[in-house]
Amino acid sequence: MTDDLLVKRDGAVGVLSLNRPKAIHALNLDMVHAMVSAMQGWQGDEAVQAVLIDHSEGRGFCAGGDIAFLRNSALNDGGASGRKFFHDEYQLNHLIMTYPKPVVAFMDGITMGGGVGISGPAQYRVATEATRLAMPETGIGLFPDVGGGWYLSRLKGRLGQYLALTGARLDGAECVWAGLATHYLPAENLPAAKARIAAEPGAIATILRELSAVPPEAKIAVHAAEIERLFASNVYEDILAALKAEGSDFANATLASLASKSPQTCKVALRQLADSLTLPDFAANMVMEYRIASRVLTRPDFAEGVRAVIVDKDNAPKWDPATPEGVSDALIDGIFAPLDPADEWKPL
């Protein structure tokens, strides 16, 4: 077990509280293993009827995975420890998705990357006025993993493609509108919701409905038609051309955002979402995403993106390839190719 995760029983529910406030509860491998261990233990315990996932304190639910650890792996051990992290994190994501008991994730505050990975597969996903959800990986040379291909590809219109490429943040109301959250509760109602669920876990849906508020208007909704039209293609160059031709304030702002992203991983994300729609289940999606992660981790853009955005903070990454046109179909095909059978991802 680890101090970075608080595991407890409250009435008839098991509670997993992320506890790395200085890192906005970013997941490390010890936290992943502790969550898996607790959930597997509760799976066969008839006294535990539901699982709650929240955070102990601070301004975010979960800011993602341990990016510094992953970059160190890419630079120093050929990606071996990073691949282990992805492999086991994805097993946790799949465990939550297939868990036989209700899982409630409280996405109060920053919910990004790995935070989406542990909330997206939950049966109940609670947003608040403080929620800020994003998959910002293309800005650091990664891709929207942890099941992002599954969730984003299945959103209405082309919202998923827009979110995957731009890393745009959604607030709590927008999460409900998009379908990424199931309920919108004022943050002040969360303690009551948790206490009532612990006392009556068979009534989760009713409890959350009774404590919900009507969310504000979803600001992103006014751009839904534009997004569906401008992001219609699965070819990245087509999207960029459509945005340039549009010339609106929204299109120009979107173009400016995309100019800072890794061309390689933008193309990866579009292929990832398109391929995910052809897959039979979430496990197959995670097999695909592990293949991508295993290769993207050690390609130049990841270490360079983390350097530019997180280490040096100059926000001037030198992407390789530097342009969308430089990212060949052969490069993308290689990133998506099967691994050796012994190296492929497998669920628990």
User: What residues are annotated to the active site?
Assistant: 65, 114, 137, 145
Contact of 317 with 301, CB cutoff 8 Å: yes
Q: Which strand (E) or helix (H) includes residue 93? A: helix 80-97
**Residue entry with tokens 């751009």:** 223
Can you tell me the distance from the alpha carbon of 24 to that of 191, in angstroms, rounded to the nearest whole number? 20
Cα 252 from chain centre: 26
Q: State the distance between the two ends of the chain, measured CA to CA, in whole angstroms.
A: 19
Per the document, the length of the chain is 348
What are the residues whose beta carbons fall under 8 Å from the beta carbon of 26, sequence distance 6 or more? 20, 62, 63, 64, 65, 66, 67, 114
How many C-alpha atoms does 150 have within 13 Å on its Cβ side?
22
Contact of 159 with 224, CB cutoff 8 Å: yes
| Residues forming a β-bridge with 105 | 53, 125
